[in-house]
Amino acid sequence: MPTFRTIKSLTQCLKGYRTAGLRVGFVPTMGFLHAGHRALIEESVARCDITVVSLFVNPTQFGPNEDLDRYPRALEADHDLCRTAGVNLIFVPDASEIYPPGFQTYVEPGPVAEPLCGAVRPGHFRGVATVVTKLFNIVQPDVAFFGQKDFQQCAVIRQLVRDLNLPIEIVTVPTVREPDGLALSSRNSYLSAADRARARCLSRGLFAAHAAFQAGERDSQRLVETAQAQMTEVDQLQYLQLVDARTLEPILGSVEQPAALCVAACVGTTRLIDNVLLIPPPQALADHELELVSHVIGRQATAGAAGPRPS
């Protein structure tokens, strides 16, 4: 499986595929791949002729006191996973290939990047939007795949693609979970055994809110309280918010549109995020809302279809 370190060599190769009329799928990652990434790759392999994966720990999306230096890396294992999952090309650039000396232009996302993680990690989505735009320009995929666990990231990228007229379909793939519900994340590797056990309370809380929603609860405050009641084992709850699934504006009062309950919390020194979708039955939704749900859950929207799916 060819691995490219330079933009020039990658684009040369991709030109041949495009000339042959092949559909290119792209899975951008920061490496240390797990079953969640595998699900993105498998979705791409199923939908596209060629699947490109990038492995790049993007420095511009980390704050000065964040974990850039200790972010886990496992290049060999990443190669193995890509090979067995059916990836055709891997792109592993150095930081200087993406940000050469003199680099000075950034992509500044709008209000969708301001709440939730945007409020806790200033500049994070500017770094994500910049690197994703650059990677899109380099790879020029037909379709790109992102995980629902990074729900705000998906919203920022959908907005970016709309606003900048990028001819790329964005597919969001449902979160892959451990059997006990914990969302897979490269950062789970930081958790001690005791912290790992405590981290379960996040998905437990989200599932409790989802069950209440399915049982007919629509009051946003009560739904948040239902989740929060389970999340007592974390060290710091950074946010737990019920937001509109497209704009990420907070929902106060009754939940009548596609919504996401999003959480970020520290367990020990590890920061974890997770979310669950709360989707009213299709007959209660307008056409544009149904379309959004189908994009987010990767299939036709049906009542209850967006529910959590512990693996």
Q: Using CB under 6 A, list all residues that contact ligand PAF.
A: 28-30, 58, 61, 128, 131-132, 150, 153
The pair of structure tokens assigned to 48 is 């596209």
Within 8 A by CB and 6+ apart from 277, the residues are: 148, 245, 258, 259, 260, 293, 296, 297, 306, 307
Q: Is the dihedral of CA 247, 251, 255, 259 positive or negative?
A: positive
Please, what is the minimum distance in Å from the beta carbon of residue 209 to ligand PAF?
Answer: 24
Start-to-end CA span in the chain (Å): 29
Which tokens go with 303? 């009542």
Nearer to ligand PAF, 198 or 271 (CB): 271
Least distance (Å) from ligand PAF to the CB of residue 76? 19
Cα separation, 8 vs 271, whole angstroms = 36
Q: How far is the CB of 298 from ligand PAF (least distance, A)?
A: 17
**Annotated active-site residue in 34, 37, 210, 288:** 37
Place of tokens 């994340």: 185
Nearer to ligand PAF, 90 or 285 (CB): 90
Q: Which two tokens stand for residue 116?
A: 């939730």
Q: What residues does 259 pair with on adjacent strands?
A: 244, 278
Considering the complex, state which of residue 30 and residue 266 has its C-beta at the smaller distance from ligand PAF: 30
Identify which of residues 95 and 211 has a Cβ nearer to ligand PAF in the complex.
95
Q: For the chain, how many residues are written?
A: 311
CB of 250 to ligand PAF, least distance (A): 24
Q: What is the C-alpha to C-alpha distance for residues 281 and 304, in angstroms, rounded to an integer? A: 7
CB of 208 to ligand PAF, least distance (A): 27
| CA 107 to centroid of chain Cα atoms | 18
| Nearer Cβ to ligand PAF (57/267) | 57
Distances (CA, A) of 58 to 55, 132, 190, 234: 9, 10, 19, 28
Q: Residue 272: beta bridge partners? A: 265
Whichever of 29 and 148 has its CB closer to ligand PAF, that residue is: 29
Report d(CA 36, CA 50) in Å as an integer.
19
Q: Is 37 a catalytic residue?
A: yes
303 DSSP assignment: T
Integer Cα distance of 3 and 114 in angstroms = 36
Where in the sequence numbering do the catalytic residues fall?
A: 37
